[in-house]
Structure 1
Amino acid sequence: MSEQLLKTKEALLEAALPHVVFDGWSTATLAEAALDAGISPEDAQAAYPRGGVDLAIAFHKVGDAMMLERLAAADMSNLRFRDKIAAAVRYRIEAVTDKDAVRKGSALFALPQNAADGSKLVWGTCDAIWNALGDTSDDVNWYTKRATLSGVYASTVLYWLGDNGEGNAATWEFLDRRIDNVMQIEKFKASVRKNPILSKLMAGPAKVLSGIRAPHSAGNRDDLPGHWSPKDVT
């Protein structure tokens, strides 16, 4: 991406935010942002070909970048891992102060034609969190960690949108409860592995799942979500 295009995209996104509350993430918002920023309609279209959808995606990714910057600067050496996860989710939510922009985005990505984009954004956020916290898994756990955190993150965002309390205290309590639920699942999985009867019952499925590899595993194509090979479980 050229420096000029990047500046154009940043200027349009900044100019768009005041209009989102009235027109949502829409083509109308992009047109108004272009007018306010002194950018031609043609350049605005080139920067955000899908109009409001691309604007909303850019807005979300800015929040991800802000979260990662805060994570990189934070001292988490004394925190339990579950607390590091909670902090990362909280940092991501606190990266955005405009709830209306998030609310409009949630409505946009709830539409069937945009659902795939919305799911990809949530997955990308959770992938960024795990990577920032040093996750090195390359098997099925790569997927389960991100899928589980996606559920926690998405539900917490929805709760936050309705939380009008001081300091969003209720949201952070909700987040802690969701992470506690996940930790209980992990404890159950550990107890299954230790149980001689249940571990034998799960041996077959576990062997099949052991053949699943994460996208960054050696030999995987970058445009695919991962792979499974029978030779991995023979």
Structure 2
Amino acid sequence: MTQTTHHAQSPADRLLDAAVSHVPFDGWSEATLRAAMADTGIEPGLAKALFPRGALDLALAYHKRGDAEMLRKLAETDLTALRFRDRIARAVRLRLEAVEDRELVRRGMTLFSLPQNAPEGARAIWGTTDAIWTALGDSSDDVNWYTKRATLSGVYGSVVLYWLGDDSPDHQATWAFLDRRIDDVMQIEKVKADVRGSKIASALLALPLAVAGQIKAPARKPGDMPGRMG
């Protein structure tokens, strides 16, 4: 989730910009959407067309705006001197630093924790991690496409939870926690590489690896945004 922009060049942007001032009090709710309509003068019919599922679609639009802001900042950042694990950490940090009010994210997590909304919340996090991997040049087209995003989704989710409760100066405790989580993942990758290099393990894993080798990344259609599978 991200900071509010104020260009308001579309009705959807105007509603979203208006909504964020109400979210800390009313959450991502129908009350917030109604207040945003009142603030902007946008008719209910248009609001319904823009956000068919009401507050849920409004919250998802806010999350996607955050992904777009992260990608914009990432494109402006020189990553050439950074190790790959540090590039991932920088992307996650940029994603969180784009948030102007943690209460907006906290309220979003409350919404997405509801059983009927949990799949959308998981899909939103997957979209964020896919955007990160794609922006960093990931070219995998097999089972690794999925495992990379699944692993980073776990890291991202745990870091967000830590960040929401972090009161350290400039969130330094969060960035240290992020580094530790990524280090843990890198250790797992090293173990996996060592296992693959073992002759005994290679024999035992021959069939599972052959099956995994048949798994392909989803094809992207021209113009698809990161995180969208089709």
TM-score by length of 1: 0.89
2:98 is equivalent to residue 90 of structure 1: no
Cα contact 2:219–2:229 (8 A) shared by 1: no
Q: 1:64 maps to which residue? A: 67
- Higher relative CO (Cα under 8 Å, sequence separation at least 6) belongs to 2
Q: How many residues align?
A: 217
Q: 2:157 maps to which residue? A: 154
Alignment of 1:170-189 (within 5 A): 170-189=173-192
CA deviation after TM superposition for structure 1 residue 160, in Å: 0.5
Question: As a proportion of its length, which structure holds more helix?
Answer: 1
CA deviation after TM superposition for structure 1 residue 217, in Å: 7.4
Q: 1:127 maps to which residue? A: 130
Cα contact 2:129–2:152 (8 A) shared by 1: yes
Which amino acid in 2 is paired with 1:164? D
Distance in 2 of aligned mates of 1:65 and 1:56: 14
Q: 1:221 maps to which residue? A: none
Q: 2:198 maps to which residue? A: 195
2:37 is equivalent to residue 34 of structure 1: yes
CA deviation after TM superposition for structure 1 residue 41, in Å: 2.0
Cα contact 1:138–1:217 (8 A) shared by 2: no
Q: 1:99 maps to which residue? A: 102
Distance in 2 of aligned mates of 1:84 and 1:113: 34
Taking a change above 3 Å as real, the CA distance of residues 104 and 76 of structure 1, as seen in their structure-2 partners, is: same
Distance in 1 of aligned mates of 2:71 and 2:229: 23
Distance in 2 of aligned mates of 1:119 and 1:217: 20
Distance in 1 of aligned mates of 2:34 and 2:125: 27
Q: 2:210 maps to which residue? A: 207
Which amino acid in 2 is paired with 1:192? V
Distance in 2 of aligned mates of 1:180 and 1:194: 21
Which amino acid in 2 is paired with 1:131? T
Distance in 2 of aligned mates of 1:102 and 1:79: 29
- Consecutive unaligned residues in structure 2, runs of 5 or more: 1-7, 222-227
CA radius of gyration, larger in? 1
CA deviation after TM superposition for structure 1 residue 23, in Å: 0.8
Q: 1:11 maps to which residue? A: 14
Which aligned segments of 4 or more residues in structure 1 are displaced greater than 2 angstroms? none
Distance in 2 of aligned mates of 1:67 and 1:208: 35
Name which of structure 1's ranges 160-169 and 209-218 shifts more when overlaid on structure 2: 209-218
- Consecutive unaligned residues in structure 1, runs of 5 or more: 219-223, 227-234
CA deviation after TM superposition for structure 1 residue 55, in Å: 0.6
| 1:26-64 deviations in Å (ceiling 9; x for gaps) | 111000001011212222222211111011000000000
CA deviation after TM superposition for structure 1 residue 225, in Å: 5.8
Taking a change above 3 Å as real, the CA distance of residues 111 and 7 of structure 1, as seen in their structure-2 partners, is: same
| 1:170-202 deviations in Å (ceiling 9; x for gaps) | 000110010001000100011011111112111
Q: 1:232 maps to which residue? A: none
SS of 2:218's partner is coil
SS of 1:213's partner is coil
Distance in 2 of aligned mates of 1:199 and 1:162: 43
Which amino acid in 2 is paired with 1:9? A
Q: 1:230 maps to which residue? A: none
Which amino acid in 1 is paired with 2:187? Q
Which amino acid in 2 is paired with 1:104? R
